């Protein structure tokens, strides 16, 4: 991990305002933000560790725990809600005994509840590994998840 962290830090000057880009880079390299990495970032920027954790824990896009190999994000924006996203979320929760924010025990995927992808013209919308799918149904989404390896 030290190598990866040094590589990230070498691209920055150590200014306080670089914290978010640094955390993004660390997450890209390690998949999430282990406590050790956050402490190293705090040392590098001469910030208290609490300030780093405060930022890391605020934003949904920064993860302080390991994530699944894939990500499944169900949009629960108002348009998707009107068009039935709750049923999609319930179907996934039931089939995989999973709540939003949790990862399957085999680390296959992490389920997220999101609002909003701005694809309201094709609600309900689901994002799998960064790819958006419109006009979804519970059956269509379960099929997408089954294809994950």
| Distance of alpha carbon 41 from alpha carbon 35, whole angstroms | 10
Report the interface residues with other proteins, using CB under 8 A. 16-21, 24, 54-55, 58-62, 76-79, 81-83, 86, 114-123, 125, 127, 130-135
Residue 149: helix, strand or coil by DSSP? coil
Provide the minimum distance between the beta carbon of 112 and other proteins in the complex, in angstroms, as a whole number: 10
CB of 115 or CB of 139, closer to other proteins: 115
Provide the minimum distance between the beta carbon of 82 and other proteins in the complex, in angstroms, as a whole number: 5
Alpha helices, DSSP H, located in the chain: 2-9, 19-30, 35-45, 49-58, 78-82, 85-96, 138-146
- Location of structure tokens 């920055």: 12
CB of 55 or CB of 91, closer to other proteins: 55
Provide the minimum distance between the beta carbon of 25 and other proteins in the complex, in angstroms, as a whole number: 10
Neighbours of 41 (CB within 10 A): 27
CB of 105 or CB of 118, closer to other proteins: 118
């Amino acid at each position: 991990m030290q190598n990866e962290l040094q590589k990230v830090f070498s691209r920055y000057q150590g200014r306080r305002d670089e914290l978010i880009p640094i955390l993004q880079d660390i997450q890209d390299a390690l998949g999430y933000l282990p406590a050790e990495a956050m402490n190293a970032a705090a040392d590098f920027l001469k910030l208290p560790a609490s300030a780093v954790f405060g930022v890391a824990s605020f934003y949904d896009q920064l993860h302080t725990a390991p994530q699944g190999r894939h990500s499944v994000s169900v949009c629960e924006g108002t348009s998707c809600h009107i068009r039935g996203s709750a049923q999609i979320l319930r179907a996934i929760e039931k089939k995989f005994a999973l709540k939003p924010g949790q990862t399957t025990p085999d680390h296959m995927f992490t389920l997220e509840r999101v609002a909003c992808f701005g694809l309201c013209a094709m609600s309900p919308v689901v994002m799998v590994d960064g790819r958006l799918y419109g006009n979804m149904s519970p059956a269509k989404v379960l099929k997408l998840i089954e294809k994950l390896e």
